[in-house]
Every structure is written in C-alpha cells, then in structure tokens.
Amino acid sequence: MKDDRNRIITVLIILTLSFLALTLYVSSAYAPSVSARAAALYEPTSQSFIYTKNENKHLPMASTTKIMTALIALEQLSPTDLIEVDERAVGTDGSSIYLEEGEILSAESLLYALMLGSANDAAEALAYAISGDIADFAELMNKRAIELGATDTCFKNPHGLDAGGHYTTAHDLALIGAEALKNDLFRQVVSTYKKEIESSLKKRVVVNHNKLLKLYDGCIGVKTGYTQLSGRSLVSAAERDGTTLICVTIDAPDDWRDHTELLNYGFESIHTAGVLEEGEISYSLPVLNSDRENIRITNKEAFKYVYRGEAPIFTRQVNLPRYFAAPIKAGDAVGEVVLYADGAEIGRVPLIAEENAAEIKEKSFWEGLF
C-alpha cells in the first residue's frame, strides 16, 4: 500500500510539473494583453509587424511627434549649425528648457533638448530655423511621412501639443521610428540618459524621460509623450544579438509594462538567420580589352533574415555576366545576389569589383609608325 501511494504521489508530481511546463510554453507562445488603446511591435529588417492592436486607428500622439521633428532636423541641418532662437519659440506651452530670444545653440544641442527634455520650445526653434513657419514645417513633416509609407499620419506642429487634425497610428509611428533609428546621431541622442548642453547664454542639463533605458536590457531609445487628451504614448527600441525591435503604444496607462512584455514576446518569437556572410561570394572573371585578364568579384555586405516559426529554406541566385568590358573601377557594383526564403525574394546584395581594370586603347596606324 505504501509503495502504491508513493507511486501515485510521484505520478501526480510529474503531471503537475508537466502542466506547469505546458502553461509556461503556451503563455510564451501567445502575445500578452496590453493596456494601450493602440500598439505595434515592428521588426525593421524584415519590415514585419510581430504584434498589432488597433494599429491603424487615428490617435493623437503627444511628444512622440518629436521623432519626426528630429528626423527632419537631422536631414536638413548639420549638427554644428548654430541656430538663433526665434522670438516666436520663446514661452511655448508645456515642457520647456526656457529658451530666450536671440539665444544661440547648435542644432545638436537643440536635438538633445528636444528628445531628452522633450522641450517644446526647442521643437519650435528648430521648425522656425528650417522652414521659417510652423505650418510650413508641418508640411515638410507630412511629406516625409508619406515618403515613409506613413499615410495615416497628419502633423500640425513639431512638438505634439494638442491640435485638431494632429494624429498618427501605431503602425505609422513604428515606420517613422525605424527610419529615424537609421541615423547614427539620432541613435546616440535617444540612447543618452543625461546630457549637458551649452548655449551663448548658459549651460543646461537635460534628462531623458524614457525609463526603459534603465528598466529594459538592450533598450536604445526612443521617445515618451503625454498630454491629457492623448494619454501616455511611448515609442521604444531595443537591440539584442544584432536584432532591433521597435515598440509603439498610444494611450497606454501602463506603458512601461506594455513595452517590457511586448519586447520580451518579440525577442522570444523571432529568430535571425545569417543568410549571406560578407565575402562569401567570390569569383574571378575575365575582362576584355584591359590591362588585366581577370578581376575579383565579391559581396561586401552580409545579409541577415528575421523569421518566426520554423526556419525557411534559403536559396540564392547569382546574377553576373560571363565577362566584363573595361574600364572597371574597384568598388563598382557589377552584379548581384538575389536571396530567397521558401521561394520568395527577401533581398538583393550587390557584387562588387575589388580591382581596377583599365581600358587598353588600340593605337592608330599613324601612332604605330612613330
């Protein structure tokens, strides 16, 4: 009887442990619920959305607007450009670094004030410096949004203070964040916790409002936002093992938890495959009418592919001529590798000439006589 009882207890323990393991597996396999009214989790390399909730709903986004403002500023200005504060930017409502009329700052300093201190006056100072007018700057923002495929977005100002017709979607905000993160200075700014900036009048210290920089391992930005009308908005980005995820929540009472759980879900759900290594493709091909018989061709870029679920079958197609005609310069793209996952094209990598091949010009009859 005692042995039977022990066996029953052992079986119950095994079943309990199995049930717990299954529960953990199931809970990790499904996306968490979030407090946000709208949300999106985006992987920019594959341009895929891992999670969405009301991702196309038009909503005000508060200071996450400043991601586009920063992107425009980085594209229109040099970081060392000196900007004199327009009187119209002084005394802007909401968060501010209290700029003074005529005060001079570098564009880079204003970017730190914009993205760390969420300074509305810095946003207007940049807008006036670039476009001379808030409405004209908003037109510039909207044009850039359309170029990025963010077609459900409309900007009315550079800071995100409540305004009729000023809205975006979680989907569009992810695309805008992804484009901004391609810029190295933007990455540097939004991943900074504290920064001292200096103007012609004074020094200031701005502190990043994004708590995820300290709360979440691998967080590299991006921007918080809040107004009473819009609620709490947040765009975050995190990087692990070479993979970057961008998370967006709009009107999220519990945004820090939302982002932590969504980013965890994303990193648990995806896999990265090294489809092509740098220099993996290498050929030596003949060159006609040249000072050399052959030139070396290779790929200078690697290619990684992010996927979910089972690993796809990767194939490739090399597009190169059988020979080349001079002249060819080292660094010229002379072909390409087309990459496929389960038969669907996923990318193209250029094939580059590693050497110069000068053209040999035939001498005329008269040149041959002398």
CB 309 within 8 A of CB 293: no
Q: For this structure, is 63 an active site residue?
A: yes
CB 39 within 8 A of CB 170: yes
Question: Look-up: residue for tokens 């500023």?
Answer: 73
Burial class (CB in 10 A: 0-12, 13-18, 19+), 364: exposed
Report the candidate in 168, 218, 212 with the shortest Cα–Cα distance to residue 55. 168
H or E element: which one contains 271?
Answer: strand 270-276
Q: For this structure, is 66 an active site residue?
A: yes
d(CA 349, CA 359): 27
Catalytic residue among 46, 53, 66, 156: 66
Burial class (CB in 10 A: 0-12, 13-18, 19+), 257: middle
Angle, CA of 96, 231 and 162, to the nearest 5°: 55
The radius of gyration computed from the CA coordinates of the chain, to the nearest angstrom, equals 27
Catalytic residue among 46, 96, 109, 118: 118
H or E element: which one contains 244?
Answer: strand 243-250
Catalytic residue among 46, 63, 106, 269: 63
Angle, CA of 214, 228 and 139, to the nearest 5°: 90
Question: Look-up: residue for tokens 């992107």?
Answer: 71
- Residues marked as catalytic: 63, 66, 118
